[in-house]
Structure 1
Amino acid sequence: MHAIRQHALGDPDVLVLDRLPDLDPGPGEVRIAVEACGVHLLDTTLRRGATDGPMPPQPLPTIPGREVAGVVDRIGPGVEASWHGRRVVAHLGMVPGGYAEQAVTAVGSLFAVPEHVSFPAAVAAVGTGRTALAIVELEPPRPEDVVLVPSAAGGLGWLLVQAAHAVGATVVAAAGGPSRTAVLADLRPRLAVDYSDPRWAERVRSEVGAATVVYDGVGGEVGRSALELLAPGGRLVMFGYSAGTPTRFDSGDVVERALSVGWSLGPRMTALPGGIPGLAGRALDRVAAGGWEPLVSTYPLADAARAHADLEGRRALGKVVLTVPR
């Protein structure tokens, strides 16, 4: 099989296409002929050697990636024969190996993918989708809310806008740069703004007013500006900081604004019904039912380095997915 392997820490060009022996599933496992694999911002930090994230550094060489979708083409001992030939998606968990033509995982981690759902959309559901669903289950938007999503052109923000829109909330969608802001029209927000414009917050305040909910995955100065747009008693929901630093706030902000602050990841996700697998399954069901339409940017498997560079440079739209031609 072909796989993307990382032999050293560093820039995206450390990701190279190698030829490796085919995989064999063990007891209770299946082999997936991969057709789509997810690329996560976490993959880029692990590639550089960062040690402060939720995943430990992997021994080198390693095959990055943890979200895969495709067709089961081999089953291990103890696996029901009915799994053979089925369209599936899986999250590999703590064990990497997704950027490859084959992946092996426990049968219990599989989700069946309906024929009308594309493999890239299924990958987006079990990775980005499960996180988006956790956020809206823990901090749900309400019809009377004004919801501001500063990362609306990203895979996670794209789904959060749809979730807020679905309940009838007033939605302000923001993205960085004209090309990224232009795609937001497809989401039909009340207002789409470019947060690279220094006057973006003034425009939100003048055209929509104060926000009652901010779903903040950007952090930095953008996150701070979004915080200052919150009405007293508003909810700031932080789930990441693609800008490189978290949104700055202190006890004075909390007291003055009667602010509710929540980190919607980690233990709070695992405490939801079904835990992380339950979230993934419900997110896939929502995509299958048409409630969510993920935004996906696809790259051939061999172009993993370019996918990483575009993700880090904020040139990619939505969820980044590597595809394997069959």
Structure 2
Amino acid sequence: MRAIQITEFGGPEVLQVSDVPEPVAGDGQVLIKVDRAGINYADTHQVENSYLSKTELPLIPGGEVVGHTEDGRRVVALVGSGGYAEQAVAHAPYAWDVPEGVTDGQALALVLQGTTAWHLLKTSTHLQPGESVLVHAGAGGVGSLAVQLAKLWGAGRVIATASTEEKRKQVLDLGADAAIDGTPEGLKDRILEANGGKPVDIVLEMVGGRTFDESFAALGRFGRLVTFGAASRQSAAPIDSSRLMKGSKTIAGFWLADCFANPQLLGGPLTELFDLTAGGKLRPIVGGEYALSDVASAHEDLRARRTVGKLLLDPTR
């Protein structure tokens, strides 16, 4: 079958179409004919071996797929790796039926980014009605859903960062109360201005480096910052414990992989997200679709921040 298989670590240039053996489902697994695979920013880290979990070669990237099982179910599944292919194998508890009213692209947007946004707001930061929320990369896969969920769940003011004027307009259309430039220089001041001169209660941060530092500086009393990525590939400055004590601030980390040991930590939120989407209350954004042979361009676009929403990969092209 056709698949993207890498035999060396590197940038988008190592992503090449290969002919590989078809996978075989073992006990407790399901074989899925892949209609679309999801493309995630984490994939760019996995391909260069800079992800939180180390990767072994050869590797077929891609952690999520939507397609049909051998008995005809339409499912969305987390596969760990192997998604950039015509067929993939998933452990049965991590393959969920996609309900009517939810498209393939929407299902892929929800299974990883949606559940991440859900946990960031509910599990990591415990959003309370009326609180202000800063969402970095508000036009991205997680960000575009987090903006909407924060508003649905009663946030008082939602501020989103985005890199271009077009993206800032998009996040305002999704319900953000303010959209600002996410450039690190002067970011703290722009956050405060967007929040009426007040520090924010919650920050969802996935850039790292100076963006993390500026965001923490804009955090109010009893504020919570959760970090769930490092898109800048830079480390933030160390934070002395006294800076946490003054203002009673919290820094948390979140990695969806820590939910994988318990499928219900994914299935429960996903059911809620499916219902919101089918009911028209949540709008997952599908930002682009790429042929399997053009996956390197998808990674280049992701790394250059040229994308919005969820990116899909079509294994038939």
Q: Does 1:176 align with 2:175?
A: no
User: Contact between 1:150 and 1:226, CA under 8 Å: does it hold in 2?
Assistant: no
| Residues 195 and 27 of structure 1, relative CA distance in 2, 3 Å threshold | closer
TM-score by length of 2: 0.88
| Residues 46 and 266 of structure 1, relative CA distance in 2, 3 Å threshold | closer
Matched positions, count: 311
Q: CA deviation at 1:323?
A: 2.2
Letter in 1 for 2:53: M
User: Contact between 2:159 and 2:194, CA under 8 Å: does it hold in 1?
Assistant: no
Q: Does 1:16 align with 2:16?
A: yes
| Residues 321 and 241 of structure 1, relative CA distance in 2, 3 Å threshold | same
User: Contact between 2:36 and 2:104, CA under 8 Å: does it hold in 1?
Assistant: yes
User: Contact between 2:39 and 2:311, CA under 8 Å: does it hold in 1?
Assistant: yes
User: Contact between 1:12 and 1:305, CA under 8 Å: does it hold in 2?
Assistant: yes
Q: Secondary structure at the match of 1:47?
A: helix
| Residues 272 and 245 of structure 1, relative CA distance in 2, 3 Å threshold | farther
Alpha-carbon distance in 2 for matches of 1:241, 1:148: 16
The more displaced of 190-199 and 296-305 is 190-199
Q: Secondary structure at the match of 1:137?
A: helix
Q: CA deviation at 1:33?
A: 1.6
Q: Secondary structure at the match of 1:8?
A: coil
Letter in 2 for 1:166: L
User: Contact between 1:172 and 1:192, CA under 8 Å: does it hold in 2?
Assistant: yes
User: Contact between 1:89 and 1:110, CA under 8 Å: does it hold in 2?
Assistant: yes
The more displaced of 289-298 and 6-15 is 289-298
Alpha-carbon distance in 2 for matches of 1:33, 1:221: 43
Unaligned runs of 5+ in 2: none
Alpha-carbon distance in 2 for matches of 1:288, 1:183: 21
Q: Secondary structure at the match of 2:312?
A: strand
Q: Does 1:59 align with 2:64?
A: no
| Residues 98 and 273 of structure 1, relative CA distance in 2, 3 Å threshold | closer
Q: Secondary structure at the match of 2:114?
A: helix
Q: Does 1:259 align with 2:249?
A: yes
Matched with 1:318 is 309
Q: Secondary structure at the match of 2:96?
A: strand
| Residues 152 and 13 of structure 1, relative CA distance in 2, 3 Å threshold | same
| Residues 320 and 112 of structure 1, relative CA distance in 2, 3 Å threshold | same
Q: CA deviation at 1:177?
A: 3.0
Q: Give runs of ≥4 in structure 1 deviating > 6 Å.
A: 270-273
| Residues 205 and 25 of structure 1, relative CA distance in 2, 3 Å threshold | closer
- Write the mapping of 1:104-115 to structure 2, written as runs, cut at 5 A: 104-115=89-100
Q: State the percentage of identical aligned residues.
A: 34
Unaligned runs of 5+ in 1: 75-83
Q: Secondary structure at the match of 1:6?
A: coil
* Cα offsets for 1:204-262 (capped at 9, x unmatched): 32342321111111222122222222222211122222122344332232122221222
| Residues 314 and 276 of structure 1, relative CA distance in 2, 3 Å threshold | same
Matched with 2:150 is 164
| Residues 203 and 131 of structure 1, relative CA distance in 2, 3 Å threshold | closer
Alpha-carbon distance in 1 for matches of 2:203, 2:215: 7
The more displaced of 21-30 and 265-274 is 265-274
User: Contact between 1:150 and 1:222, CA under 8 Å: does it hold in 2?
Assistant: no
TM-score by length of 1: 0.85
Alpha-carbon distance in 1 for matches of 2:45, 2:228: 16
User: Contact between 2:94 and 2:263, CA under 8 Å: does it hold in 1?
Assistant: no
User: Contact between 2:187 and 2:215, CA under 8 Å: does it hold in 1?
Assistant: no
* Cα offsets for 1:260-300 (capped at 9, x unmatched): 22223369746989234444444444434444322223222
User: Contact between 1:142 and 1:164, CA under 8 Å: does it hold in 2?
Assistant: no
Letter in 2 for 1:171: V
User: Contact between 2:224 and 2:250, CA under 8 Å: does it hold in 1?
Assistant: yes
Q: 2:134 aligns with which of 148, 154, 162?
A: 148
Q: Does 1:128 align with 2:116?
A: no
Q: 2:229 aligns with which of 226, 240, 245?
A: 240
